[in-house]
Amino acid sequence: MKMLLRARELHERIRALRHEIHRHPELAYQEHRTAALVADTLRSLGLQVETGVARTGVIGTLDGGEGPTVALRADMDALPIQEQNDVPYASQVPGVMHACGHDAHTAMLLGAAMLLAENPPPGRVRFLFQPSEEGPDEEGKSGGKRFVEAGVMEGVDAVFGLHVSTEYPTGTIAMRPGPLMAAADLFEVEIMGKGCHGAYPHKGTDTILLAAHVILALQQIVARRVNPVESSVVTVGAIEAGRKHNTIPEKALLKGTTRAFDPDVRQQILDELERACSIARALGGDFRLTIVEGFPPTVNDPEMTTFVQKVASDLLGSEKVLEAEPRMGAEDFSFLAREAPGCYWLLGVRTPGQPERRGHSPTFDINENALPVGAALLAEVAWRYLRQRTSR
């Protein structure tokens, strides 16, 4: 409880950091101002600081001597959304806002650094301030993947992180062992036919009709190719074809995403995309399929999850610790959790009696009473993990 009481004393400082970051949101791999704020704050606490990691990431290290290393992670990037909230800390950057809570994640991890700097645990705490969770760069790599490639997980014994959630009341915690969030991949299908006048379809090959057949075939992957007990999704989210009422275009473009929890099912779906698209050739057209592999599933280590549940129950009360349902959303914490046993949990930020403000919407916001809860739990998890491992 001491950690939570101290976090509440730091509430205004943590909230001020969140407001500063929220006013000045930055898109993926453009988090220069945010990274500078993070680095300056960490240095003021006496931590070792490394900047420019994975392009715009920041690593802070609290070195308590010999012992294990625990990593705590927050993401820093914003989204290309115009904010509609009328609040004093609203985004000052046109068309960009923190619509997913990464400003809160960063502020809470800085709060955890304040708490642990005051009472350093044995061993090492590595604070990971990651760029680009929301999307990959021109090479198809998100910040989590680049962090792993940069070696930030080398020597890490356990890794922990959180995400705010408007599904749950403020101050509650939700998690589950095993798969929590799905793998996510992207695909694009360029369908080629033969353009012609809409009045004479027999003189061409109707690309839009081919696209319709391909869409139906794509939807049959989950319905008829994947084992029904395995959760998975294939979604076509965009169709680009034609400009005029009476003209059949030569090409159509489909864009979509696939989701799955099981790695074998994930690969099966990706393999089946080719088969589904081949109906375009059977009907006289052609296609070109491009797959962009995204995030693997976010899988919580059972032992680490049980540990976090115990810490959260001690800190907040067992009635505040909930069981999360698996979700088809994706999160690139998954790359870090493949390198070391980890646990990723959801922090409730919904105000009772108010409408849910879902992420990735222009009205997204949080109940800031959750900030000290998130900071305290991150710090307590790291402190207790290192204390227990050292005592062994």
If asked whether residues 25 and 148 sit together in one domain, one would say yes
- Dihedral (Cα; 224, 266, 229, 279), 10-degree rounding: 0
Q: Are residues 349 and 226 in the same domain?
A: no
For residues 284 and 328, membership in a common domain is answered with no
Give the span between the Cα atoms of 350 and 194, in whole angstroms.
53
Residues 29 and 145 in one domain: yes
CB hemisphere CA count around 82 (13 angstroms): 2
Asked whether residue 276 falls in the same domain as residue 330, the answer is no
> Residue 353: its pLDDT value, please?
78
Mean pLDDT (10-residue bins), the chain, 392 residues? 94 98 98 98 98 98 93 98 97 98 98 97 97 89 97 98 96 97 97 97 97 98 96 97 96 98 97 98 98 95 98 98 96 97 97 81 96 98 95 73
Question: Are residues 104 and 31 part of one domain?
Answer: yes
CATH of the domain at 381: 3.40.630.10
Same-domain status, 253 and 304: no
**Which of 330, 265, 257, 271 shows the shortest CA–CA distance to 296?**
330
Domain boundaries, position 285: 183-292
Number of domains forming the structure of the chain: 2
With 0-12 / 13-18 / 19 or more C-beta atoms within 10 angstroms meaning exposed / middle / buried, residue 12 is exposed
* Residues 235 and 246 both lie in one domain: yes
Q: At which of 249, 270, 292 does a domain end? A: 292
Together in a domain, 188 and 158: no
Distance from C-alpha of 38 to C-alpha of 117, rounded to nearest angstrom: 15
Give the pLDDT of residue 355. 72
Single pTM value for the model: 0.94
Which residues 6+ apart lie within 8 Å of 138 measured at CB? none
Q: Token digits for 61?
A: 């290290």
**Cα angle 212-215-218, degrees, rounded to a multiple of 5:** 155
Does 25 share its domain with 54? Answer: yes
Q: How far apart are CA 319 and CA 300, in angstroms?
A: 21
Tell me: do 334 and 264 sit in the same domain: no
pLDDT of residue 351: 86
Give the pLDDT score at 321: 98
To 10 degrees, the CA torsion angle through 26, 31, 37, 41?
Answer: 130
Give the per-residue pLDDT at 139: 87
- Domain end call among 224, 258, 292: 292
How many angstroms separate the CA atoms of 33 and 285, rounded?
A: 50
Rounded distance between C-alpha atoms, residue 23 and residue 21, angstroms: 6
pLDDT at position 152: 98
- pLDDT score, position 68: 97
Strand 298-300 to 196-197 pairing: unpaired
Residue 135 has what pLDDT?
Answer: 81
Structure tokens at 215: 């869409």
Say yes or no: 122 and 211 in one domain.
Answer: no
> How does 181-205 read in b/e, with b if 16+ C-beta sit within 10 Å?
bbbbbbbebbbbbebbeeeeeeebb
Residue keyed to tokens 């044995």: 122
Residue-level pLDDT at 66: 86
Sign for the pseudo-dihedral over CA of 105, 109, 111, 115: positive
Instruction: Tell me what pLDDT residue 334 has.
Output: 97
> In the 3-class helix/strand/coil scheme, how is the chain assigned residue by residue?
CHHHHHHHHCHHHHHHHHHHHHHCCCCCCCCHHHHHHHHHHHHHCCCEEEEEECCCEEEEEEEECCCCEEEEEEECCCECCCCCCCCCCCCCCCCCECCCCHHHHHHHHHHHHHHHHHCCCCEEEEEEEECCCCCCCCCCCCHHHHHHHCCCCCCCCEEEEEEEEEEEECCCEEECCEEEECEEEEEEEEEECECEECCCHHHCECHHHHHHHHHHHHHHHHHHHCCCCCCEEEEEEEEECCCCCCEECCEEEEEEEEEECCHHHHHHHHHHHHHHHCHHHHCCCEEEEEEEEEECCEEECHHHHHHHHHHHHHHHCHHHEEECCCECCCCCHHHHHCCCCEEEEEEEEECCCCCCCCCCCCCCCCCCCHHHHHHHHHHHHHHHHHHHHHHC
- Last residue of some domain: 269, 292, 315? 292
What CATH number has the domain bearing residue 215?
3.30.70.360
Residue that has been written with the tokens 């088809």 in this structure: 328
**What was the pLDDT predicted at 357?**
79
Cα–Cα distance, 26 to 32 (Å, whole number) = 8
